[in-house]
Amino acid sequence: MIINIIIAILVLGSISVLFGALLGYAAVRFKVETDPIVDQLDSILPQTQCGQCGYPGCKPYAQAIANGESINKCAPGGEDTIKKIASLLGVEVEDLDENHEKDNRPKVAFIIEDDCIGCTKCIQACPVDAILGAAKQMHTIIIDECTGCDLCVAPCPVDCIEMRIIPETIQNWQWDLSKIPVKSLD
Amino acid sequence: MMKSIIERISQGKFWQFHGGIHPPEQKKLTSEKPIRNIALPKQLILPLQQHIGSQGELLVTVGDKILKGQPLTKSLNPMSVPVHAPTSGIISAIKKSVIAHPSGLSELCIFIDVDGNDSWIKREICNDFKTLDKETIINKIASAGIAGMGGAGFPTHIKLSAKPEINFLIINAAECEPYITADDLLIREQSEAIIDGIKILDHLLTPAFILIGIEDNKPEAIKALQEATRNIEKIKVCILPTKYPTGGEKQLIKVLTGKEIKSGSLPINSGIIVQNIATCFAITDAVIHDIPLIRRVVTVSGKSLGKPQNIWALLGTPISYLLKQCDHTHENNNKLVVVMGGPLMGFSISNAQVPIIKTSNCILAPSAIEMPSAFSGKSNEVECIRCGQCSDVCPSQLMPQELQWSAKAKDYDQLNKLNLFDCIDCGACAYVCPSQIPLVEYYRIAKAEIRQQQLFDVKSEKAKTRFEARKIRLEKDKTARIEKHKKAAEARKAAMNNSTPEANGAKSAVAAALARVKAKKAASNNQKKSISNKEQHESNDQNHESSLKSNDNRKAKISATIAKVKAKKAQEASISKEVELNDSVTSTLKITDDKKVRIAATIAKAKAKEKEIDNKEEKVTFKSSSKNNQQKEST
Amino acid sequence: MAFWIASSPHNHNLNETSALMRLVIYAALPGILVQWYFFGWGNIIHISLAIITALVCEFTVLALRQKKIQPQLLDGSAILTAILLGICLPALAPWWISVIGTIFAIVIVKQLYGGLGHNLFNPAMAGYVMLLISFPLQMTSWQPPLSLMPMNVDFFHAISTIFTGFTPDGYSVEQLRTSADGFTMATPLDTLKTDLFLGLTVSESMTSPVFGDHFAVGWEWVNFAFLAGGLFLIIKKCIAWQTPVSFLFSLFICSFIAYTINPDNSASTMFHWFSGACMLGAFFILTDPVSGAASAKGRLIIGALAGLLVYLIREFGGYPDGVAFAILLCNMTAPLIDQFTRPRTYGHKRGET
């Protein structure tokens, strides 16, 4: 009787050892190299480097998320980014943090040249070097590089920078038929 | 291989493309009447861009008197063609107006008040185009503003500047969409001119064979073409079975030659060029008669019109004028449906001022009985039951039901795998769908979103690179600065430790400066903001102090501006920004007259805030300068 | 009066899903009538019960899901499911069989998976299989054709048996099924299976009265009527021809091969075609677009697979008729088959995306 039990234990034990060894070998031999999680998170974030999340740039925020920071702090990324991060990390989707800009349409900065005093404070503030200018020279925004992060507006001592919504053109029209202004013929 | 293709074509045995539908043709409404010439409208609205590519540069301004055929824009790069004045008149305005595009957006247009004289500019007739060399002909076509008139609007001269060997020149006379008979009538009335145009193309491209693809529902046009080409061996008139969308470029090529154009590549890469037949007529006009593209045949059709007919319409004619000419009657329901284009690929018009452009081949004004689905208010869309009728009719052999599942789920990866961008927007799938799902709408939105996402990804990459580069540069600057300061401090210390008169002088100067600064600090409750970066740049300007303005007025204004700004900043409670306006800042300020008003208004506001702000009365010094043609930047 | 903006295409061929469903219901009517002729009122009562239950369930669930009720309720899909389930049930099964089956089919198999267009399995078949497994006794108490019944079962008898379990005369379902000789009569397929198991050859088994002159009294005509309805649907382009043709063809091939190898122990090809739920399954259930394959090639594969499975289950399986199980298994494989049978897009090489 006892011998049967011992045989059973031995057989099952050896089978499990065998399969465990096989699995372990496969895990090492066929390992797939994936991006570290920080890089994957960084590739989801919109790269505006605006700092609205409280971190000096998108990569630091990605690192913070990897260390447990909440995922709902990116305002320019919006709902879509939160959903993507949530699905990557396997956590729950949260609503966007309350204190952020409500209007999320893409904007670029614009310097009112009449008022510009050439102080270079905005140039120092821009995280992607999208402002062209020098001391005592006119400053201007390079629209193609501007990410709309808003960081240049506050440092300007004469308040000559405003954020303008990118206008809708034929090239970037998104086929929203409900927004076409219809002429009434009455 | 080519021989076998030609053999089949000569025998009339064509290939077939997958799918296709047979909607009611409704061509009899307009196909039995000739093309009508109408009186000149009072005003023409010419968009500057009526083709794929970019706008031309304006050559005229408001108030100019112009003659018929005069070029109004100049093309700056190869992808743009000029627009010409369709008749003589005066330019009354150049401003944004609603254009012929599904978005209803406004772009820059030239408004011409017609003077009724219809006076031409000087033209040079060329009787024998064979005497001209290819370069000249292509330039003539380009400067005549000819773009593809079949609906796409690709600049023709680019297509014709093709270098590789052309096997087939295909002339698209299929006109497969219901209601449209513009090409049909044009062929019937102007077959000689069209064949001349084809001969010009032959001269330019020297293709091996020329095929004219035309559907069999146009018997008179076929006869006219066969008559006109009876002595020309090279041109073959191919009569194709009527099916929508035979007129699509890829489908036409498959039917006539059996070849499939690889996804993402152009027909020219397979040695095939396709031209619309109306474009051939325009080419004849341009090369032989020196007439630029200023008018086209437009089918104005639909049962809500009293007199539906084809019309020779000048480019820039507002739609409302054409509808009136054809006795358009509003029906009793509240919806006015006018479609530019055919019923399957045309877009709704939102404004009666939309003008005819080079690619407008039809204006459709159906009645509610004729086309009930165009008037339906609410969407009748129900769930997709995967019946598969859509994939049965898709000419690109896609699976529309799978595309719509992925489009609704915004699964862009799957959409790319399912080849969404091979969809030609023909509308056959949505036409047959029993669940009345607006399939093409979903695909258009998805395509726009995917394109936007791609642009966004590229931009993000750029922004990231610039950010990283900036970080590195700042690091470098910082270490360099620290080095420099260390060196300078050491040098200064070494100098000061020798008791030379210069050293003593330097010491006292430094002491005096320190005392000044302390005094200032005591008088103000300035909070320092750490000036980050670019200190090396600033240290060069740091000791520029100039005298006060001669103009007291200006000084007041400047202080007021500063005060106004400070008031605003003090209001911003959420962000605490500390600004140090001390004598280390130099700037230039231009004062214009507009500011007087603004500043006066805000002076009152600023005065009210004086309590909160410590009016430092900083001697903010300014240097008035004219423009930025002063000192070079020293970085 | 204002301009009306719509998206192209502006024309439509005015086909509607509800019209499609209606046509399918009409095509099923001949089969129902023939079934009534041979087997009495039982199935019609079940169909009516099922329809009422289906509408009530659909209404409730749509209201709970806060969807638009009116267009979805009457689009015919729930009614069609109810009809198909009612046809499949034994004529004298208790009333709660059809009610439970319909509730399961509509609420769980259809709505819980997402409603019309989203269900993975065919609701009617899934409901039938659930009943078969949960209530095997009631679901295998098949009523013999009227001509073979020992006593008369008219409308009132049917109602009474379905709702109370006993006829007005006091006979139970079991007693109704017992022939004058004392044998409990079963369906032709069941009889054949049992006889083969007992060692009889096919020809000997086919002498049993339940087979009649051709293949199966009553059942053959029912199948024939469904075949006619199915051909009507194919002509009207309501259903795709690939699935039923490949199903019947594959069943034909399998039974033909078996018959050639071993005629004594295999039923004929026509027997397989005209017995059980073969034609109903081929034209009405397997062709359900929602749970079938999307591409033409996929449909051929599913049809062939279903034919093979039906044959295997009928020959070697435990249940006499394998149509329901075969269909469910094919529903399971449909998404996978879809992945691999996408048509080649214009401009792409075969096999390349």
Q: Residue A132: what are its φ and ψ, rounded to 5°?
A: -100, 130
A180: closest CA of chain C, how far (Å) = 8
- Test B263 with C345 for CB contact under 8 angstroms: yes
Size of interface A-B (CB pairs under 8 A): 123
SS3 B308: coil
- Test C3 with B351 for CB contact under 8 angstroms: yes
Provide the pLDDT for residue B543. Answer: 40
N- to C-terminal Cα separation, chain B: 68
Size of interface B-C (CB pairs under 8 A): 169
Tell me what the pLDDT averaged over chain C comes to: 87
Given pLDDT bands bounded at 50, 70 and 90, which one contains residue B103? confident
**Residues on chain A touching B102 (C-beta within 8 angstroms):** 175, 177
Distances (CA, A) of C204 to A77, C145, C181: 77, 21, 18
Q: Does the pLDDT value for residue B590 go beyond 50?
A: no
Question: Which of B110-119, B537-546, C70-79, C341-350 has the lowest average pLDDT?
Answer: B537-546
Q: Does the pLDDT value for residue B568 go beyond 90?
A: no
- Test B339 with C346 for CB contact under 8 angstroms: no
CB-CB contact of A147 with A128 (8 Å): yes
Q: Does the pLDDT value for residue A31 go beyond 90?
A: no
Q: Which two tokens stand for residue B395?
A: 């000419």
Provide the pLDDT for residue C246. Answer: 95
Provide the pLDDT for residue A19. Answer: 96
Q: Does the pLDDT value for residue B137 go beyond 50?
A: yes
Residue type at position A128? V
User: Do you find a cis peptide bond into C9, omega within 30 degrees of 0?
Assistant: yes
- Test B385 with C17 for CB contact under 8 angstroms: yes
* pLDDT, tens digit (0-9, with 9 covering 90-100), for B525-566: 554 444 444 444 444 444 443 334 344 455 555 555 565 666
- The stretch B392-399 carries a mean pLDDT of 92
Provide the pLDDT for residue A157. Answer: 87
C-contacting chains (≥3 CB pairs under 8 Å)? A, B
pTM: 0.79
**Residues on chain A touching B589 (C-beta within 8 angstroms):** 117, 158
N- to C-terminal Cα separation, chain A: 100
CA neighbor of B209 nearest in space, from B236, B191, B174, B249: B236
- Test C11 with B341 for CB contact under 8 angstroms: no
User: Is C103 part of a structural domain of the chain?
Assistant: yes
Question: Which of B140-144, B171-175, B554-558, B580-584 has the lowest average pLDDT?
Answer: B580-584
C1 touches chain B (CB under 8 A): yes
C2 touches chain A (CB under 8 A): yes
- Test A183 with C3 for CB contact under 8 angstroms: yes
**Residues on chain C touching B436 (C-beta within 8 angstroms):** 12, 16
- The stretch B571-588 carries a mean pLDDT of 40
- The stretch B189-212 carries a mean pLDDT of 91
- The stretch C159-178 carries a mean pLDDT of 79
**Residues on chain A touching B585 (C-beta within 8 angstroms):** 119
User: Structural domain tally of chain C?
Assistant: 1
**B184-193, B324-333, B557-566 — most confident range:** B184-193
Q: Does the pLDDT value for residue B570 go beyond 70?
A: no
* pLDDT, tens digit (0-9, with 9 covering 90-100), for C169-178: 777 777 777 7
**Residues on chain B touching C295 (C-beta within 8 angstroms):** 388, 391, 399
CB-CB contact of B188 with B224 (8 Å): yes
Tell me what the pLDDT averaged over chain B comes to: 81
Q: Above pLDDT 90, what percent of chain B? A: 38
Given pLDDT bands bounded at 50, 70 and 90, which one contains residue B619? very low
- The stretch B286-311 carries a mean pLDDT of 91
User: Is C240 part of a structural domain of the chain?
Assistant: no
- Test C2 with A177 for CB contact under 8 angstroms: no
* pLDDT, tens digit (0-9, with 9 covering 90-100), for C238-287: 888 999 999 999 999 999 999 899 888 888 888 888 888 899 999 999 99
Provide the pLDDT for residue C224. Answer: 92
ipTM of the complex: 0.86
Partnered with residue B45 across adjacent β-strands are B111
Distance between CA atoms of residues B412 and B449, nearest Å: 9
Q: How many CA atoms lie within 13 A of B512 on its CB side?
A: 6
Provide the pLDDT for residue B561. Answer: 58
Distance between CA atoms of residues C185 and C180, nearest Å: 10
Provide the pLDDT for residue C8. Answer: 78
Provide the pLDDT for residue B530. Answer: 41
Provide the pLDDT for residue B78. Answer: 80
Provide the pLDDT for residue B171. Answer: 93
DSSP string, A21-50: HHHHHHHHHTPPP---HHHHHHHHS-----
Provide the pLDDT for residue A42. Answer: 85
Top-confidence residue, B263 or B627: B263
CA neighbor of B271 nearest in space, from B290, B257, B287: B257
CB-CB contact of B104 with A173 (8 Å): no
A137: closest CA of chain B, how far (Å) = 5
* pLDDT, tens digit (0-9, with 9 covering 90-100), for B224-257: 999 999 888 889 999 999 999 999 999 999 999 9
Given pLDDT bands bounded at 50, 70 and 90, which one contains residue B622? very low
Distance between CA atoms of residues B192 and A30, nearest Å: 72
- The stretch B491-509 carries a mean pLDDT of 72
* pLDDT, tens digit (0-9, with 9 covering 90-100), for B141-164: 999 999 988 888 888 888 888 777
**Residues on chain A touching C5 (C-beta within 8 angstroms):** 177, 180, 182
Provide the pLDDT for residue B529. Answer: 46
Among the partner residues A48, A127, A135, nearest to B470 by beta-carbon distance: A127
A68: closest CA of chain B, how far (Å) = 23
Quote the distance between the C-alpha of residue B343 and its chain's center. Answer: 24
The chain A residue lying nearest C8, using CA atoms, is A177
Q: Is C66 left (phi over 0), alpha (psi -120 to 50) or beta?
A: left
Q: Which long-range contacts (CB under 8 A, 24 or more apart) does C267-272 make?
A: C267/C192, C267/C202, C268/C202, C268/C215, C270/C215, C271/C188, C271/C215, C271/C216, C272/C310, C272/C311, C272/C314
Please report which helix (H) or strand (E) contains residue A62, including its range.
helix A58-66
Place of tokens 């439509």: C12
DSSP string, B458-526: HHHHHHHHHHHHHHHHHHHHHHHHHHHHHHHHHHHHHHHHS--HHHHHHHHHHHHHHHHHHHHHHH--P
Partnered with residue B623 across adjacent β-strands are B588
Q: Angle B222-B228-B230 (CA atoms, 0-180°, nearest 5)? A: 95
A27: closest CA of chain B, how far (Å) = 29
Instruction: Give the start-to-end residue ranges of the domains of chain B.
Output: 1-32+127-290
Q: Which two tokens stand for residue A144?
A: 């193609």
Given pLDDT bands bounded at 50, 70 and 90, which one contains residue B447? very high
Distance between CA atoms of residues B27 and B374, nearest Å: 18
Provide the pLDDT for residue A41. Answer: 86
Provide the pLDDT for residue A166. Answer: 84
A-contacting chains (≥3 CB pairs under 8 Å)? B, C
CATH topology for the B1-32+127-290 domain: Rossmann fold (3.40.50)
Given pLDDT bands bounded at 50, 70 and 90, which one contains residue A66? confident
Residue type at position B21? I
Given pLDDT bands bounded at 50, 70 and 90, which one contains residue A40? confident
CA neighbor of C123 nearest in space, from C83, C168, C178: C83
B329: closest CA of chain C, how far (Å) = 12
- The stretch A7-23 carries a mean pLDDT of 96
Distance between CA atoms of residues B303 and B311, nearest Å: 16
* pLDDT, tens digit (0-9, with 9 covering 90-100), for A86-102: 888 888 877 776 655 55
CB-CB contact of C107 with C100 (8 Å): no
Q: Residue B253: what are its φ and ψ, rounded to 5°?
A: -65, -40
CA neighbor of B34 nearest in space, from B225, B310, B295: B310
C9 touches chain A (CB under 8 A): no
* pLDDT, tens digit (0-9, with 9 covering 90-100), for C105-150: 999 999 999 888 889 999 999 999 999 999 988 888 888 888 877 7
Given pLDDT bands bounded at 50, 70 and 90, which one contains residue B280? very high
Quote the distance between the C-alpha of residue A145 and its chain's center. Answer: 17
> Domain limits at C41?
16-183
Top-confidence residue, B372 or B347: B347
Sign of CA dihedral A9, A15, A18, A23: negative
**Residue to test with chain B: of A41, A44, A49, A141, most B Cβ within 10 A:** A49
A146: closest CA of chain B, how far (Å) = 8
SS3 A182: coil
C14 touches chain A (CB under 8 A): no
Listed by number, the residues of chain A in 122-181 with a beta carbon closer than 8 Å to a beta carbon of chain C are: 177, 180
Distance between CA atoms of residues B436 and C139, nearest Å: 40
Distance between CA atoms of residues C75 and C67, nearest Å: 14
Q: Does the pLDDT value for residue B202 go beyond 70?
A: yes
3-state percent helix, strand, coil for chain B, nearest multiple of 5: 40, 15, 45
* pLDDT, tens digit (0-9, with 9 covering 90-100), for A165-185: 888 887 778 787 777 777 665
Q: Which long-range contacts (CB under 8 A, 24 or more apart) does C161-168 make?
A: C161/C42, C161/C92, C162/C42, C162/C45, C162/C46, C162/C92, C162/C93, C162/C94, C162/C95, C163/C94, C163/C95, C165/C94
Distances (CA, A) of B449 to A172, B76, B411, B442: 9, 30, 11, 11
Provide the pLDDT for residue A130. Answer: 87
Residue type at position A75? A
